[in-house]
């Protein structure tokens, strides 16, 4: 081991958007346990973000929090600036931030559609644009789609449409980064026990959706974080793919 490899700058660095709660937080904590220094991006809840940082540092890891609207290009540039200034660079971007409003297409409020478009599509584009400009060789971009694209569940038309755009961005960016030694993939969870999924669903609906896969349970944030860890670390030959982490639902 060289003297240079012993320095703090040699530590790999991950930015996790939506990292203060749910799958994002679990992914941030998992990457920190894998040895990454983590920058936890959050949209509004500072207390949750600080709790996530505390959880990482209490376990012996390194983390800082930064507030940024993922659809705001200046705020996202500042997020990447912070990661570079604090830890020396960026190696992995986990873009877990997203919003979801459910309703049949005929009833969906168009303001909700616009909000999902801004966060889920524009946000992915803005975050991936900075990642493409700044990631070091050997890096990885991990976007988030949804298995609802395959399940075609009623009520999810607008949300699924935004995630279809995420998949298109993911597959094309992987090819645009030819020669950079950077992988670009998306994780597409099935029904997962997060606040985003559980909000507004009654017990009967949750039970029914938990039985959709052969394992007959909801996914957990830890299940999804395990996939993120794989794509961020050893999975260097997985590129330009959508990994459907749903217990075999489709």
Distance in angstroms (rounded) separating the CA atoms of residues 136 and 131: 9
Tokens of 182: 């950077």
DSSP annotation of 121: I
Q: Of the listed 42, 87, 156, 159, which one is catalytic?
A: 159
Distance in angstroms (rounded) separating the CA atoms of residues 1 and 165: 43
156 catalytic residue (yes or no)? no
Q: Which residues contact 113 (CB under 8 A, 6 or more apart)?
A: 101, 158
Burial class (CB in 10 A: 0-12, 13-18, 19+), 151: middle
Q: Which residues contact 142 (CB under 8 A, 6 or more apart)?
A: 92, 93, 94, 95, 185, 186, 187, 228, 231, 232
Burial class (CB in 10 A: 0-12, 13-18, 19+), 169: buried
Q: Point out the residues that are catalytic.
A: 159
């Amino acid at each position: 081991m060289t003297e240079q490899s012993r320095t703090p700058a040699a530590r790999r660095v991950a930015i996790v958007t939506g990292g203060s709660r749910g799958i994002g937080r679990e992914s941030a904590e998992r990457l920190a346990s894998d040895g990454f220094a983590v920058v936890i991006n959050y949209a509004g809840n500072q207390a949750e973000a600080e709790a996530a940082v505390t959880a990482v540092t209490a376990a012996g890891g390194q983390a800082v929090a930064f507030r940024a609207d993922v659809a705001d290009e200046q705020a996202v540039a500042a997020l990447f600036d912070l990661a570079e200034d604090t830890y020396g660079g960026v190696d992995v971007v986990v873009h877990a931030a997203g919003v979801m409003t459910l309703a049949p297409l005929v009833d969906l409020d168009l303001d909700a559609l616009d909000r999902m478009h801004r966060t889920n599509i524009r946000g992915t584009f803005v975050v991936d644009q900075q990642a493409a400009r700044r990631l070091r060789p050997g890096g990885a971009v991990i976007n988030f789609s949804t298995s609802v694209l395959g399940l075609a569940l009623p009520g999810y038309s607008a949300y699924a449409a935004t995630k279809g755009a995420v998949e298109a961005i993911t597959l094309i960016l992987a090819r645009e980064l030819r020669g950079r030694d950077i992988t670009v993939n998306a994780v597409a969870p099935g029904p997962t026990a997060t606040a985003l999924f559980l909000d507004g669903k009654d017990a009967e609906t949750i039970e029914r959706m938990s039985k959709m896969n052969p394992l007959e349970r909801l996914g957990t944030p830890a299940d999804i974080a395990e996939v993120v860890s794989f794509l961020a670390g050893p999975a260097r030959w997985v590129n330009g793919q959508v990994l459907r982490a749903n217990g075999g639902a489709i």
